[in-house]
Amino acid sequence: MAVKIYVTYNDVHKMCQEVAPKILADFQPNLMVAIGGGGYVPARILRSFLKQPGSPNIPIQAIGLSLYEKLANSGDADVEAPGTKVTRTQWLDMSALGEMENLVGKRVLIVDEVDDTRTTLEYAVKELQKDVEEARAKLGSDKKTEFAIFVLHNKDKQKKGALPQDIVDHHYHAARTVGDEWICYPWEALDIEEHDRNAAAALAK
């Protein structure tokens, strides 16, 4: 069976805390876009550490993208296998923040839990850039919207997806770089005590 890494809620909290100052150093996000479902909890925790005294909380928008499907006969109910295409299950609801035009000239932080093949992140960045570019053209503005990425884990492997070089060089933050292992996040656990025991057992080894 493939190696599994068990990550606890406290691990996630501390990873967000650790990376927040690096994000703030040269990118003060105006908006976070959490890729669901794995990006939701990290985005919310990260927001607490990105909060600046005297400034309002950074709004979090959710998008739903799905690449992985449970394999009926994989022999391991927890491990999922990659699909081939990204399915959009939810997209930005900008009506709460005005309209898409409000993203023009802003800094947007995209949050997901893991960068595996990079297919999902590539899709998210491309589609968000497309929407923003449309809004920019409509406004006749020359203001650029900047994107940054935060993930808890980046798997060090051959990627299928590609990201703009500017993001890779300056605005890509992974709290941990790991091998090609399966990571079990706490929000997926059906028995959180057992999950935490597994995490502690791995630490004790």
Site for ligand 5GP, rule CB under 6 A: 38, 67-68, 82, 112-120, 182-183, 185, 188
One-letter amino acid for residue 116 of the chain: D
Grouping H, G, I as helix, E, B as strand and the rest as coil, residue 44 is helix
State which residue, 20 or 151, has the beta carbon closest to ligand 5GP.
151
Token pair 């105006």: residue? 30
What gap in Å lies between CA 88 and CA 124, rounded to an integer? Answer: 10
User: Closest approach of Cβ 42 to ligand 5GP, in Å?
Assistant: 11
Question: In the annotation, is 196 catalytic?
Answer: no
**Cis status of the peptide bond prior to 75, with omega within 30 of 0:** no
Residues in the chain: 205
Between 28 and 90, whose beta carbon lies closer to ligand 5GP? Answer: 90
Min CB(194)–ligand 5GP separation in Å: 16
Catalytic pick among 26, 116, 156, 180: 116
Nearer Cβ to ligand 5GP (138/157): 157
In whole angstroms, the minimum distance from the beta carbon of 113 to ligand 5GP comes to: 6
Question: CB-wise, 2 or 24, nearer to ligand 5GP?
Answer: 2
Omega before residue 38 within 30° of 0, cis: no
To ligand 5GP, the closest distance from the beta carbon of 158 in angstroms equals 11
Q: In what order do the strands lie in the sheet with 146-155?
A: 80-90, 60-70, 31-36, 107-115, 146-155, 172-178
Active site residues: 116
